[in-house]
Amino acid sequence: MFQVEHPMDDKREMVEKRVEDIKRKMRGMKKKILIKFGNKVCYDISVSQIDTLGLPALLIGRTPLCYFLSHLLGTETIENFFFYDEIEQLEVMSFETEEEQKNTLEEIFETFIKAGSEFEINIASKTKTKIKKGIEENDKNCYQSAKEHIINLLNPAFTQFIGGSLFPLMKKRLGERNYYTMKQISEAVSFLIEKLDEMFYTAEKASETTRPTLMRRIYILRKSIHILVERKFSVDFVDSIPMEELEATATTNVGFF
């Protein structure tokens, strides 16, 4: 029987190959600051590459990613990105012991898979069962099917992002180059933080019953974004709202800490 080749499969393979090539180059340039036309710049994914390669290209980016995360904050699906990002890191991690690896797999489960967890993602029960078995066997690849599912869930958000107001704004600010100045990076990170601030001020107006839960989520999001920014850019940002104040608000009447 002849096997029919599907053009969509060929396109997907092409995209995956190009994204992997870009990813390798970005890893090599991660800690480097280049000098272009007298300005300090960082190598990154370009807007035109995002136009051509879609979501996979955006997800490996740094500066453009800030605008996409700003969009995700408004859709309350940002946990999907953080899960994807966590598994991306897991794939390149080296563990000194099997115990260390298993502990990491269990931590991911507690954060994203366990019912009622802070960043619980929407996956089928059979996928959860498969993951549990994988953790028992200390299989580093036990989250792969969940990762693929989450990428599919991120696609509608990406389509909304492309068709909304943030993508043209990002395009205007970043241009078509594959490197960005410190000013462009600062603008992107600041834009993301402004969205977090908006969430905080909205939560402040919530009822006493729901406010602690909302503040708890904002605290965890902000902490996660601090870590992400530090890892992506090797810098951190100054909070307009002190983390200590936010943590104190988040823990009021909530027994998580």
Q: Which pLDDT belongs to residue 20?
A: 72
In a domain, 107, yes or no: yes
98: domain CATH number?
A: 1.10.167.10
In a domain, 135, yes or no: yes
pLDDT confidence tier of residue 31, bands split at 50, 70 and 90: very low
Q: How far is CA 101 from CA 93, 94, 124, 204, in A?
A: 9, 8, 24, 39
In a domain, 48, yes or no: no
pLDDT confidence tier of residue 234, bands split at 50, 70 and 90: confident
Which whole number is the average pLDDT over 129-138?
Answer: 97
Task: Report yes or no: 26 and 60 within 8 Å, Cβ to Cβ.
Answer: yes
Q: Is the pLDDT of residue 1 over 50?
A: no
In a domain, 220, yes or no: no
Cite the DSSP H helix spans in 93-181: 98-108, 125-136, 144-163, 166-174
Q: How many domains does the chain have?
A: 1
Q: Which pLDDT belongs to residue 4?
A: 46
Phi then psi dihedrals of residue 33, to 5 deg: -110, 120
Task: Report yes or no: 231 and 31 within 8 Å, Cβ to Cβ.
Answer: no
Crossing angle of helices 98-108 and 78-92, in 10° steps, is 170
In a domain, 64, yes or no: no
In a domain, 132, yes or no: yes
pLDDT tens column, 79-107: 999 999 999 999 999 999 999 999 999 99
Number of Cβ atoms within 10 Å of the Cβ of 108:
22
Q: Is the pLDDT of residue 38 over 50?
A: no
Question: 144: domain range?
Answer: 80-148
Task: Among 31-40, 145-154, 248-257, name the one with the lowest average pLDDT.
Answer: 248-257
Q: Is 144 helix (H, G, I), strand (E, B) or coil?
A: helix
pLDDT confidence tier of residue 17, bands split at 50, 70 and 90: confident
pLDDT tens column, 187-232: 999 999 999 899 888 888 989 888 888 888 888 898 899 899 888 8
In a domain, 204, yes or no: no
pLDDT confidence tier of residue 243, bands split at 50, 70 and 90: low
Q: Which pLDDT belongs to residue 142?
A: 97
In this prediction the pTM is 0.83
Task: Report yes or no: 43 and 178 within 8 Å, Cβ to Cβ.
Answer: yes
In a domain, 129, yes or no: yes
Q: Is the pLDDT of residue 165 over 70?
A: yes
